[in-house]
């Protein structure tokens, strides 16, 4: 029962979500009254051509942008109704985000990059270092903690970025084209790592990609086109 509750808490649901972008020339409809959900602990890929709305969905789920209408339920909370302050806390604690371009601060070492969001979340210094070291160890980078991003390969940087998404132990991991800047070997390593977060650690993982080779590794694939899910495989 407790486990069932935990699973329900992690579920992600879009209820009638619309997103319009206003530009000088036109109003662009990215999503219109979209209904969609993924289960708690699922490793899901969101696949579709460029422009179909994948980033829009991830940004809405990540609390980085607001919908034009509808409700976005994550971990039992309606993200669409949160205040700016609530969104800040949500982004820090409830979701971990992995981006295409690694998103590490260039002047900081890998360890310091990982400690920064813990500092913001009020984690004590000793614990910050222990957690950061243990995360780097878990992705095989224990020896590289004092290296800055430019001293690491692309694959290594993205492994640090996956750790960064995990530092505050959020239930939801969102990744937007996380392998878009990697060769096929490293793409596989990162995809497997993301899938493993769901299977071994019970996280809900959603990865947007337009690369069929990446997507086919995921146990569930949502195929998106023109702002709607067309098929689930």
What residues line the site for ligand ADP (CB under 6 A)? 21, 23, 28, 30, 48, 50-56
The binder of 52, among ligand ADP, Mg ion, none, by C-beta within 5 to 8 A per type, is ligand ADP
Shortest distance (Å) from residue 56 CB to Mg ion:
8
The binder of 111, among Mg ion, ligand ADP, none, by C-beta within 5 to 8 A per type, is none
Strand-pairing partners, residue 115, are none
Interaction residues for Mg ion, span 55-84 (CB under 5 A): 55
The binder of 23, among Mg ion, ligand ADP, none, by C-beta within 5 to 8 A per type, is ligand ADP
Distances in whole angstroms, Cα of residue 143 to Cα of each of 146, 152, 156, 223: 8, 12, 12, 39
Which residue number is nearest to Mg ion in terms of Cβ? Answer: 55
Which range, of 48-56, 76-84, 180-188, 224-232, touches Mg ion by CB under 5 A?
48-56
The angle formed by the CA atoms of residues 206, 191 and 218, to the nearest 5 degrees, is: 60
The binder of 53, among Mg ion, ligand ADP, none, by C-beta within 5 to 8 A per type, is ligand ADP
Q: Are strands 172-176 and 228-232 parallel, antiparallel or unpaired?
A: unpaired
Name the residue among 194, 199, 202 with its Cα closest to residue 174: 194
Name the residue among 60, 49, 74 with its Cα closest to residue 20: 60
**222, 44 contact by CB (below 8 A):** yes
Closer to ligand ADP by Cβ: residue 23 or 83 = 23
Q: Does 209 bind Mg ion (CB under 5 A)?
A: no
CA 18 and chain centroid, separation: 20
Shortest distance (Å) from residue 216 CB to ligand ADP:
18
């Amino acid at each position: 029962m407790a486990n069932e509750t935990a699973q329900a808490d992690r579920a992600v649901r879009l209820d009638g979500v619309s997103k319009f972008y206003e530009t000088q020339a036109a109003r662009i409809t990215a999503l219109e009254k979209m209904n969609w959900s993924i289960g708690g602990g699922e490793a899901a890929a969101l696949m579709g051509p460029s422009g179909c709305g994948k980033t829009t969905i991830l940004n809405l789920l990540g609390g980085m942008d607001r919908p034009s209408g509808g409700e976005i339920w994550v971990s039992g909370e309606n993200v669409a109704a949160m205040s700016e302050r609530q969104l800040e806390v949500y982004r820090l604690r409830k979701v971990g985000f992995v981006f295409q371009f690694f998103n590490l601060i260039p002047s900081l070492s890998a360890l310091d990059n990982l400690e920064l969001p813990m500092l913001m979340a009020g984690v004590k210094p000793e614990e910050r270092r222990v957690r950061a070291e243990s995360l780097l160890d878990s992705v095989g980078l224990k020896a590289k903690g004092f290296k800055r991003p430019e001293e690491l390969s692309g694959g290594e940087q993205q492994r640090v970025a996956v750790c960064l998404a995990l530092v505050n132990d959020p239930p939801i991991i969102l990744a937007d084209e996380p392998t878009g800047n990697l060769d096929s070997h490293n793409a596989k390593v990162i995809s497997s790592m993301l899938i493993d977060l769901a299977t071994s650690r019970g996280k809900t993982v959603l990865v947007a990609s337009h690369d069929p080779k990446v997507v086919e590794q995921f146990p569930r694939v949502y195929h998106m086109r023109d702002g709607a899910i067309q098929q689930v495989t």
